[in-house]
Amino acid sequence: MRPELTTASDERLVLAIARWRDDALAEAYRRHAGPAFALAKRVLWDVGVAEEIVQEVFVRLWHEPDRFDPARGTLRSFLLAQVHSRSVDFLRSETARRNREEKEARSTAQSGYNLEDEVHNVLEGEHIREALDAIPESERKPIELAYFGGHSYREVAQLLGEPEGTVKSRIRAGLRRMHESLTASGVLVGGQL
Partner 1 sequence: MRDEFEELLGAYALDACDPAEEAAIAQHLVGCPRCRAELAAHEEVAGVLGNLGGEAPAGLWDRIWGEIASPDQGDDTSEGEAAGETRLPRSFAHPPPPLAIIEGESADRGRAPDEPGGATVPSHAVQRANRRWGYAIAAGAVAAALAVVVGLLGTTVGNLDNQVSALNRAVVTGGVRGAEQAAVADPSHRAVQLQSSTGSWKAQLVTLPSGTAFIVPEKMPTILPSRTFQAWAIVHGKIVSLGVLGRSGQVHQLLLEPNMTAVLVNTEPLGGTSQPTTPVLLRGNLPTTL
Contact between 66 and partner 1 by CB under 8 A: the answer reads: yes
Q: Residue 123 and residue 181: Cα distance in Å, rounded?
A: 16
Rounded to a whole number of angstroms, the minimum distance from the CB of residue 115 to partner 1 is 8
Closest CA to 127 of 71, 179, 192, 73: 179
CB 166 within 8 A of CB 138: no
Contact between 99 and partner 1 by CB under 8 A: the answer reads: no
Can you tell me which of 6, 73, 107, 158 binds partner 1, judged by CB under 8 A?
73
DSSP 192: -
Rounded to a whole number of angstroms, the minimum distance from the CB of residue 110 to partner 1 is 19
Can you tell me which of 27, 58, 90, 141 binds partner 1, judged by CB under 8 A?
58
CB 113 within 8 A of CB 145: yes
Which among 93-101, 106-114, 168-176 is the span making contact with partner 1, rule CB under 8 A? 168-176
- The count of residues in the chain is 193
Which among 51-59, 93-101, 103-111 is the span making contact with partner 1, rule CB under 8 A? 51-59
- Helix/strand number for the chain, H first, E second: 11, 0
Contact between 53 and partner 1 by CB under 8 A: the answer reads: no
Which among 95-103, 105-113, 114-122 is the span making contact with partner 1, rule CB under 8 A? 114-122
Q: How many residues bind partner 1 (CB under 8 A)?
A: 83
Site string for partner 1, 118-157 (x = CB under 8 A): xx-xxxx---x--------------x--xx--xxxxx-x-
Contact between 176 and partner 1 by CB under 8 A: the answer reads: yes
DSSP 70: G
Site string for partner 1, 6-45 (x = CB under 8 A): --x--xx-xxxxxxxxx--xx--x---xxxxxxx--x---
Q: Residue 72 and residue 193: Cα distance in Å, rounded?
A: 15
Rounded to a whole number of angstroms, the minimum distance from the CB of residue 13 to partner 1 is 8
Rounded to the nearest 10°, the torsion over CA 45, 50, 51, 55 is 180
Q: Residue 30 and residue 42: Cα distance in Å, rounded?
A: 20
